[in-house]
Chain A
Amino acid sequence: MEPFTVLTAIAMPLLRDNIDTDIIIPSREMRSVSKKGLADGLFAGWRYRAIGGREPDPDFVLNDPAYAQARILLTGANFGCGSSREHAAWALGEYGFRAIVAPSFNPIFRANCVANGIVPVVLAADVVSAIAQSILPRPAAAPVTVDLVQQLVRTAQGALYSFQIDAEARQMLLEGLDAVELTLKQEDRIAAARKADAEVRPWVYL
């Protein structure tokens, strides 16, 4: 996984609450048993004129050339609600998003982001709106910085907003760690815990 430290990039505003993972990547766009090949399906229901089609709807922000190089998504509360499909994080990542700024995230989606090197940044709704305002009218001239080292978001005008992220997630993202490898370093402790538990709750291990 690619480590994340500091990113300065164009931010794209999609300030709606409760954007669900069916919207981020519709089930019909998950065509192969793979983590790849999903970017074209990102926001497919909003992005294309017809279901299953590929003709862009010019009214949808993702199709606005001003945001073609966007790497940061500014969005509403409870982002990533609904289905647990990790394809939502894979599609966002493959498209190029590395950070998502929202007032809150669905817990499964948030974990999926961390597992895929996408930083879930939690900031209050009025702050997200203020950042969205700061990039107008020329997003390319007003890039946003997400600094995971200092836990700060900075606008091109110099406004600074600090955010919280739990230490475990921050470490994984900063170092691009493989969680399985990390956990297997505790294999002895896991084996011991299972052995002790099997004496108390043998029916679990039948």
Chain B
Amino acid sequence: MSGTLFEKIWNAHLVSEIGPGTGLILVDRTLLHERTGGVALKSLLAAGRKVYAPRQAFAVMDHIVDTLPGRGDKTMMPTGTEFIRATREGARAAGIRLFDLNDPNQGIVHVMSPELGIVLPGTTLVCPDSHTCTQGALGALAWGIGSTEAEHALATSTLRVKRPRTMRVTIDGTLAPGVTAKDLALYLLGKFGVAGGKGHIVEYAGSAVRALDVEGRMTLCNMATEFAAFSAIIAPDDAVFAYLEGRPFAPTGAMWARAVESWSALRSDDDARFDTELAADARDVAPMITWGTSPQQVVALDGEVPAFAAGHSAREAYDRALSYMALEPGQRLAGLPIDAAFIGSCTNSRLSDLRRAAAILRGRTVKPGVRAICVPGSTEVRRQAESEGIDKVFLSAGFEWRESGCSMCFFAGGESFGPRQRVVSSTNRNFESRQGPQTRSHLASPETVAASAIAGAIADPRKLGR
């Protein structure tokens, strides 16, 4: 029987149909972090319930932990310690594996989980975090849930899921040199809008997707939640198998061979039908930057703030975004002075991201007055980067070099950028006050963040002379 990749995974996990269009689905992995997971564990235990399959659940500290050297349970976020301790106690009481603050495998949940082989092709994986879609890059059905759903997944190893519609986004052609998965993700949001994937499981396909390395695929899938999608997925291939082989939680030996054979069948059949098909040409993608307060408010780096056009956004939202960002229609983005630069987050904090940014920073210095911060996505990424001397490149350029965590991707009441400060950021959300009260965030690739830090203004990494 022919079907889409999603349908194959769905059918393999379907316990029962519990209503028209709703299935009871086996959950293979439940991941928790201290920001939302602590509440779920506390509430589960208070209800007198146990975790059904503790070996299939994992918890990590990432969201509100300090990323300054020498960190401990105290964080800059008021009451943050309470979240850390509640998660630690909850994980212990529930008998689930916790990657605590000083664990060598600690990291942002969507960075450390692939790194450890916790996510595997064909598995279902949930986490009370909207960027769980990142992990679809490995061929898993991975999606974000709420805390109550997390309790359900922990207590029953299943979830009641409204079956999403299927969408294929085919991107053929070749990305130009210096154009990355992040630029592609932003380009798609600009082209199709932040509701473009509404209620769909999006399968990214096409030669440009196939050509991305596994970390680039994670970046692309990461922003599917900004696309209003249920999740995103990419059919696993040899690149994924090579990425996973030998990871601590991946199968080994004969079991590995058996798994790879099974995973090799995980793709949409040629005659599979999708509810919606979208297409884009990789050759149309340039380095991108957001100008507004929604990820769809994005233009090519050498472009300008567009005039209002009916479509994705209403007039009020357009005017509000311009006023918040202190910009005018027709204004060029390149050359706009910045106050800060941030490289980190589950979108762009992996080793390849840091390597590419370091290639731009090497031998250069951040413009005086610009605050520049790099937060590796996991303790392992940090360790590997340090073994390659990448930390030295960042530090001698004038960047801060941090411990791993979500850090200033968002403002939780502790550390933030200043009011009305303009920040170029490798993160995923440019919402109002996302990175601090009244902070103005421009989303871009790590290369663009690095180039902008050096120029002290939004700058195209391809135009830096040597």
Residues of chain A having any CB pair with chain B under 8 Å: 16-18, 20, 22-23, 26-28, 30-35, 45, 51-52, 76-78, 81-86, 89, 104, 106-108, 111-112, 115-116, 166-169, 171, 179-180, 183-184, 186-187, 189-190, 193-194, 197, 200-206
Contacts and interface: CB of A to CB of B under 8 A. Distances in A.
B216 interface: no
Contact of B433 (A26, A168, A180, A193): A26
B38 interface: yes
Contacts of B164: 107
B123 A204 contact: yes
Contacts of A76: 314
B79 A32 contact: yes
Interface in B15-64: 15-16, 18-22, 24, 26, 28, 35-36, 38-39, 42-43, 47, 49, 53, 55-56
B83 interface: yes
Given A83-B129, A83-B410, A190-B26, 10 more contacts: A22-B429, A27-B410, A81-B228, A104-B199, A108-B143, A166-B162, A180-B151, A194-B53, A202-B255, A205-B56
A118 B199 CA distance: 19
B412 to A, nearest CB: 4
Interface in B222-256: 225-226, 228-230, 249-251, 255-256
A184 B152 CA distance: 10
Interface residues of B, number: 85
Nearest to B82: A33
B120 A203 contact: yes
B294 interface: yes
Contact of A111 (B122, B149, B226, B412): B149
Contact of B146 (A77, A89, A184): A89
Given A166-B20, A190-B26, A197-B26, A82 B433 contact: no
B156 A183 contact: yes
A116 B160 contact: no
Contacts, number: 203
A116 B149 CA distance: 11
B145 interface: yes
A22 B410 contact: yes
Contacts of A205: 55-56
B279 interface: no
Report which residue of A22, A26, A84 has the largest number of chain B beta carbons within 10 angstroms of its beta carbon.
A84
26 contacts: A20-B431, A22-B433, A28-B77, A28-B412, A33-B42, A34-B39, A51-B438, A82-B226, A84-B130, A84-B146, A104-B228, A106-B228, A107-B162, A108-B130, A167-B22, A179-B148, A179-B152, A183-B152, A183-B160, A186-B15, A189-B16, A189-B24, A190-B157, A194-B26, A197-B26, A204-B123
B18 A22 contact: no
A104 B230 CA distance: 13
A206 B255 CA distance: 10
A32 B82 contact: yes
